[in-house]
Homo-oligomer: A and B are copies of this chain.
């Protein structure tokens, strides 16, 4: 029987980042992965969706070539080649998966291929092997639930991996879901010239975002020609190959399942860690579950962002090694790769109001930002929320072509408990999109610059 300080179940960004850190902390570490290193994020989520989105954005952008001063692009000749875009995506994913495999070797993490099952505390079975370990980190992820799609014709509904494996795309596509993955998938399809609609049981599209961002996205979807149908119980197939979505009947040859995700748990034997009402593992700020020596990180805990997974995993293995680095969930940015991108950190305006905090806000539109104009990326705005009387920044919400990078400055400021005056004192390079964050802070201070 092999003995470890730490056995990690799951090779996604919750598991593999934790494995690297665990090894650096001197823990003898094993990682069990049943499919591909990198997990959902690297193989079917964050990375492939962004690679495909870049292809789609490129295709969409070509309609502006003439405006930019480029002659000779014939719109009628253009064709989005799904197979080639997928081939590019595959290449990127493979490079990164190989990279993670290399990092496991470099850090002397033992990687076991197979299904892990807990056989009591401190015992993990992987096929024939029984591992004894001081601690376990469960980072097994989550998968779209999608039972509302049961009963639809075979071949119509595709999971994301099945969708990626298609040789080509049909004329009419429905994406099932109202979360980030669903919105990104729909937008990628639309920008690459496909007819697509979003349908979901949810009440709202991306309901966790600040209302101003939700409103923006709804308008944007409408403008791009992506119909959105919410509050749907389940889609029904009619006899003539159409799909009934509530009161509407629409053509549909492909339905991509991006339903909200449910936890994937390893076999737990007699162990029964506490779960929340949705079935996700309950953890504290060190990633500890209710069971001694059993930690969890990532999607399986209900925090469905890769960066949260890595942070939780790192906090967990640090705790195993006797170091206290609790995860501060209030400072985890969220990021969506729409076009423009969306990113947020901290409280929404609705949350600030609900807490009854006196606050001020500042906003700035990218439509008058010099770099945004130069790039032709003038869609979007930055919104900053700060509490009175000190002007401490408590929420930043960004819609911008590179919002997911712009948010990093806001997270840094919030982590260091910066005030609006602190931000005003940070000189921003000109011309940059980051100036919009600065300008929003000036606006909140009631001394706007370019507004």
Query: Is the CB of A170 closer than 8 A to any CB of chain B?
Result: no
Given contacts A71-B78, A335-B429, A402-B405, contact A370 B50 (CB under 8 A): yes
Which residues on the B side are within 8 Å of A87 (C-beta)?
A: 69
Query: Is the CB of A67 closer than 8 A to any CB of chain B?
Result: yes
Q: A68–B85 contact, CB under 8 A?
A: yes
**Residue-wise interface mask of A (217-236) relative to B, using a CB-CB cutoff of 8 A (1 in contact, 0 not):** 00000000000000000000
Q: A404–B376 contact, CB under 8 A?
A: no
Q: B374–A47 contact, CB under 8 A?
A: yes
Q: A58–B65 contact, CB under 8 A?
A: yes
Chain A to chain B contacts (Cβ below 8 Å), 15 pairs: A42-B370, A53-B374, A66-B84, A68-B85, A69-B82, A70-B80, A74-B77, A92-B374, A99-B368, A305-B429, A328-B427, A335-B429, A371-B404, A405-B434, A415-B422
Given contacts A71-B78, A73-B73, contact A428 B449 (CB under 8 A): no
Q: B69–A85 contact, CB under 8 A?
A: yes
One complex includes copies of this chain to the number of 2
Q: B55–A68 contact, CB under 8 A?
A: yes
Q: List the one stretch of A252-260, A275-283, A284-292, A406-414 in contact with chain B.
A: A406-414
A292 to B: closest C-beta gap in Å: 27
Which residues on the B side are within 8 Å of A405 (C-beta)?
A: 402, 405-406, 432-434
**Residue-wise interface mask of A (330-345) relative to B, using a CB-CB cutoff of 8 A (1 in contact, 0 not):** 0111110000000100
Which residues on the B side are within 8 Å of A73 (C-beta)?
A: 62, 73, 77-78
**Residue-wise interface mask of A (418-432) relative to B, using a CB-CB cutoff of 8 A (1 in contact, 0 not):** 100011011111111
Which residues on the B side are within 8 Å of A376 (C-beta)?
A: 54
A72 to B: closest C-beta gap in Å: 4
Query: Which of B408, B416, B426 meets A428, CB within 8 Å?
Result: B408
Query: Is the CB of A46 closer than 8 A to any CB of chain B?
Result: yes
Secondary structure call for the A interface: helix
Query: Which of B68, B306, B402 meets A58, CB within 8 Å?
Result: B68
Query: Is the CB of A249 closer than 8 A to any CB of chain B?
Result: no
A307 to B: closest C-beta gap in Å: 5
Given contacts A58-B68, A374-B50, contact A415 B425 (CB under 8 A): yes
Query: Is the CB of A149 closer than 8 A to any CB of chain B?
Result: no
Which residues on the B side are within 8 Å of A333 (C-beta)?
A: 427-429
A71 to B: closest C-beta gap in Å: 4
Q: A428–B447 contact, CB under 8 A?
A: no
Query: Is the CB of A164 closer than 8 A to any CB of chain B?
Result: no
Which residues on the B side are within 8 Å of A78 (C-beta)?
A: 70-73
Q: B54–A375 contact, CB under 8 A?
A: yes
Please measure, in the bound complex, the distance between the C-alpha atom of A59 and the C-alpha atom of B151, giving whole angstroms: 49
Which residues on the B side are within 8 Å of A274 (C-beta)?
A: none
Which residues on the B side are within 8 Å of A58 (C-beta)?
A: 61, 64-65, 68, 70
**Residue-wise interface mask of A (75-103) relative to B, using a CB-CB cutoff of 8 A (1 in contact, 0 not):** 00111111111111000100110010001
**Residue-wise interface mask of A (369-380) relative to B, using a CB-CB cutoff of 8 A (1 in contact, 0 not):** 011011110000
Query: Is the CB of A137 closer than 8 A to any CB of chain B?
Result: no
Task: Name the residue of chain B whose CB is nearest to the CB of A406.
Answer: B405
Q: A431–B50 contact, CB under 8 A?
A: yes
A93 to B: closest C-beta gap in Å: 9
A118 to B: closest C-beta gap in Å: 28
Query: Is the CB of A20 closer than 8 A to any CB of chain B?
Result: yes
Query: Is the CB of A211 closer than 8 A to any CB of chain B?
Result: no
Which residues on the B side are within 8 Å of A415 (C-beta)?
A: 422, 425-426
Which residues on the B side are within 8 Å of A407 (C-beta)?
A: 429, 434
Query: Is the CB of A116 closer than 8 A to any CB of chain B?
Result: no
Please measure, in the bound complex, the distance between the C-alpha atom of A78 and the C-alpha atom of B407, giving whole angstroms: 37
Q: B449–A434 contact, CB under 8 A?
A: no
A367 to B: closest C-beta gap in Å: 9
Q: B72–A430 contact, CB under 8 A?
A: no
Please measure, in the bound complex, the distance between the C-alpha atom of A92 and the C-alpha atom of B17, giving whole angstroms: 44
Query: Is the CB of A105 closer than 8 A to any CB of chain B?
Result: no
Q: Across the A-B interface, give the 9 residue pairs with the lowest CB-CB distance, nearest first.
A: A69-B85, A408-B434, A72-B77, A50-B374, A69-B84, A335-B429, A306-B430, A72-B78, A51-B374
